[in-house]
Structure 1
Amino acid sequence: MPDLSATHKQTELADKKPFEWRFLHPRFWGIWLGMALILPLMFLPLRAQFAIGRQIGKLAYRLAKTRVSDTLTNLRLAFPDKSDDERVLIAKQVFVNQGVGIFETLCAWFRPNVYKRTFSISGLQHLINAQKDGKAVILLGGHYTTLDLGGRLCTQFFAADCVYRVQNNPLLEWFIYNGRRHIFDAQIPNRDMKKLITRIKGGKVVWYSPDQDFGLEHGVMAPFFGVPAATITAQRRLAKLGDKTNPPAIIVMHLERQTPDHILKGKRPHYHIHLSPALDNYPSDDEVADATRINAMFEANIRQNIAQWMWFHRRFKTQADGTQYYSKR
C-alpha cells in the first residue's frame, strides 16, 4: 500500500504561497479562531473525527439557512419524484457528509497516512494506456464532499495538476493553496489559460471540474438531472490542444466513500476511485450533445450516493428564460 505521507513522485512541487502580515488584521481573526479549534481535532482517531464532523454538519444544517434552501431547491428540481421528507433527509446528509469532509480534507493535506489501507481503484488502466500513448489526460472530477481526499488518493497512482478557483478571502486562499500543494504537482487558477495550456501540451494529467454553473460565457445549456443547466465546455477546447494527431484523453473520475459517515469501533472507512475509459469521439461537432454526454456521466456517478455531491451550490442559477429558482441573498 502506498505511503500517503508523500504523493506519487512529482515532477515538481507547487510553489508555496508566502505568509503575509495582513493576515493578522482583526478581520481575519474569526478564521484564525476556527483554525485553532478545528486543526488539533484532526489528530484524533478517525472514529472521533467522523463523530465530530457529523455534529458540525448537523449544526451547519440548522444555521446555514440560505445554503439549506439552495440545497432543497436543487433536490426538488433534480428529484421531483421524491417526497419533501425524502429530500430533507438527503439534504441533512449532504451537510453531514460535508462536516465529515472537513476532516477528510485536513487529513488529506496534513495527516494522509491515517487513510492507509482505506481505498481501492478501478479503471486505472485507461489512464496508464493514455500515458503510454504519449497523451496528456484531462481528468473530469466532480465537486463531491470527498473532493480533496480524492485528489490525495488519486495521486498515489499518478501525478496530477488541478485547476481551481481562487478564493475571494486571501487568508483562505493561502491556507487552501498551501494545503493542496502537497497533493498536486501544480495548481492552475481557472483564469490562467496560458499555464493550463502549457501543462496540457507538456503531457500532464490535469484535474478539471466542469459540474458548476459559471454562466454561458463558458458553456452551453444542457440537461442535468432533467433540468436545463449552464454547463462548462472548456474541456472541449482543451481536448484540441497539443499534438493534433494525438490529442489529450478525456477521462471521468468518481470517488465514493462506500462506508457510512460513522465508523464503528475497530472499523475503517473505505473509498473507491473509478476512472472511466477515455471518451471516444470527443469532442464531436455538437457542443450541446457533448455537454449533455458529460452531464449524464456525472448524473450516473452522483446517483450512486446522492448525498456525497455538493448540492448546496446554485447549479441551476442560469436559466435562458430568466427563471430564478433561488431566493435572493
Structure 2
Amino acid sequence: MKAPEQYDPSKHSSKDSMPSPSIQPSAKSPALPAGTPTITQTHKRTAQADKKPFQWQFLSPKYWGIWLLLALVLPLIYLPLRYQFWLGRKLGVLLYKIAGSRRRDTLINLKLAFPEKPEVERELMAKQVFVNQGIGVFETLCAWFRPNVFTRTVSISGLQHLVNAQKEGRPVILLGAHYTMLDLGGMLCTQFFPMDGMYRPQNNALLDWFVYNGRSTILGKQIASRDMRSFVSSIKEKHVIWYSPDQDYGLKQGVMAPFFGVPAATITASRRMAKLGDKTHPPALMALHTYRQTPDNLPKGKRPHYHLTITPELSNYPSNDEVADATQVNEVLEGLIRIDPTQWMWFHRRFKHGPTGRTDIYK
C-alpha cells in the first residue's frame, strides 16, 4: 500500500539547524561527574513507586470509552516498530481528515509562521504534522510500557553543556517543546541522565491517572505546574528538570514576544525559575530538542533513529528585561523547531492571545 505523501524537511531546513556531531549511549559515552545522580535500579524503583492509586470511580460508565480505546490500542505496541509506524501514519492521515478544527488551526498557524511558503506546501506540512503525531502515539506508549525496544536507537549532541553545569554544582532546567515524539524524548534522555519533569494535570481523571503513571517509569519526579514547593526541592537537590514553555497561556504570567515572526503570548516562568535556589550556583537553562530520524518506510530489520540536542546555556539570562528574555527563549526554540517543523505540535492555538486579550484569528 502506498505511504502517505510526506513533507521533506531536508529540502527546506537550514544546514545550520541540523544536529551536530553526536554520541550514543555506550561504555565510551562521557560519564556524569562524581556525585551526580545516575540512572540506577534505585532511581527507577523510586520513579515507579511514585504512582497515583487506582480509583474505583474509573470503572463507572463515563470512562468505558477510554477503557475500550486502551484495550484496542495497547496490544498493538507489541508489534514490530515498522508496523507500529505504519499504523501511526494511517492514524495521522485519519485524524487529519476528521479533526476539522485541529486541521484548520494547524493550517492557520503554518500560514502565520511560514507566509513565504506556497499554500500547497503548507498543506503538505500540516498533513505531515498529523502523521508524525500518529506515530508519536505509539512511540509514547512504547516509552511507558516497552522502553527496551528503543535500546541503542539514540544519539545526543551537547551533553557536555549539561555535564559541565552539574560539575559546577548547578541544577539544570531543560527548556523543551511539545514535539510529536511526546514522552519518548524524555525516556531517551534518561539513557544519558535522570531528570524530573513539569506537567499540567489532565482534566479527565482517568487519563490523568494513566498518563501520570506511564510517565512515572521515565521521570524521577513529576512536578505539577503550580507545585512550586516540589520544583524548589528539585532545584535544591541539583536535579535536571524538563520544562516546556512553548504554549500560549495568556498574559497573566507572560509577555508578548515574537515567535516565528508573529507576536505571541510567551510565559515568563522560566526566568523566575532561573532565580531560585543557591545564588552562588544558580540553575543553568538550556534548550532540549528531540528529533526523529527515520525513513517513511522502515525496511525489515531496520530500526528508527532518534537524536537529542542540548544547546549551550542561555547567555545573560535572566536579564532585567522580561520581553528580551522571552524573545531569547522563543528564538532558541524556533531555531530547533525549524530542524523539522512538522515534528512540532502546530495544532495547538499558539497565537490565540494578543496584547489586549484573545484574538479572533482561529474563528
Tell whether the structures are fold-level matches, with TM greater than 0.5.
yes
1:176 CA displacement: 0.4
Q: Are 2:175 and 1:144 aligned?
A: no
1:147 CA displacement: 2.2
Q: Are 2:39 and 1:8 aligned?
A: yes
Contact 1:163 1:207 in 2 (8 A): yes
Give the equivalent residue in structure 2 for 1:284: 319
Give the equivalent residue in structure 2 for 1:304: 339
Give the equivalent residue in structure 2 for 1:47: 82
**In structure 1, what residue type is equivalent to 2:168?**
D
Work out which of the residue numbers 286, 290, 299 in structure 2 matches 1:251: 286
Work out which of the residue numbers 65, 72, 92 in structure 1 matches 2:107: 72
CA deviation vs aligned residue, 1:184-240 (integer Å, no higher than 9, x gap): 000011011111112112211110000000111121100000001011111101111
Work out which of the residue numbers 200, 212, 215 in structure 2 matches 1:177: 212
RMSD after superposition:
1.4
How far apart, CA to CA, are the structure 1 residues paired with 2:298 and 2:134? 14
1:107 CA displacement: 0.7
Secondary structure in 2 aligned to 1:138? strand
CA deviation vs aligned residue, 1:151-173 (integer Å, no higher than 9, x gap): 00001111100000000000000
- Number of aligned positions between the proteins: 324
How much identity, in percent, do the aligned residues show?
Answer: 64
**In structure 2, what residue type is equivalent to 1:8?**
I
Q: Are 2:252 and 1:221 aligned?
A: no
1:261 CA displacement: 4.2
Secondary structure in 1 aligned to 2:353? coil
Give the equivalent residue in structure 2 for 1:325: 361
1:49 CA displacement: 0.3
1:27 CA displacement: 1.0
Task: Give the structure-1-normalised TM-score.
Answer: 0.96
CA deviation vs aligned residue, 1:11-61 (integer Å, no higher than 9, x gap): 842611111111111111111111011000000000000000101111111
| Residue correspondence of structure 1 range 142-221 to structure 2 within 5 A | 142-221=177-256
Contact 1:213 1:317 in 2 (8 A): yes
How far apart, CA to CA, are the structure 2 residues paired with 1:279 and 1:121? 19
Secondary structure in 1 aligned to 2:110? helix
Which sections of structure 1, spanning at least 5 residues, go unmatched? none
Give the equivalent residue in structure 2 for 1:35: 70
Between 1:80-89 and 1:308-317, the stretch displaced more is 80-89
1:321 CA displacement: 4.2
Between 1:263-272 and 1:67-76, the stretch displaced more is 263-272
CA deviation vs aligned residue, 1:70-109 (integer Å, no higher than 9, x gap): 1011001101111111111001000000000011001111
How far apart, CA to CA, are the structure 2 residues paired with 1:198 and 1:192? 10
How far apart, CA to CA, are the structure 2 residues paired with 1:263 and 1:319? 43
Contact 1:93 1:307 in 2 (8 A): yes
Give the equivalent residue in structure 2 for 1:273: 308
Contact 1:123 1:274 in 2 (8 A): yes
How far apart, CA to CA, are the structure 2 residues paired with 1:261 and 1:131? 38
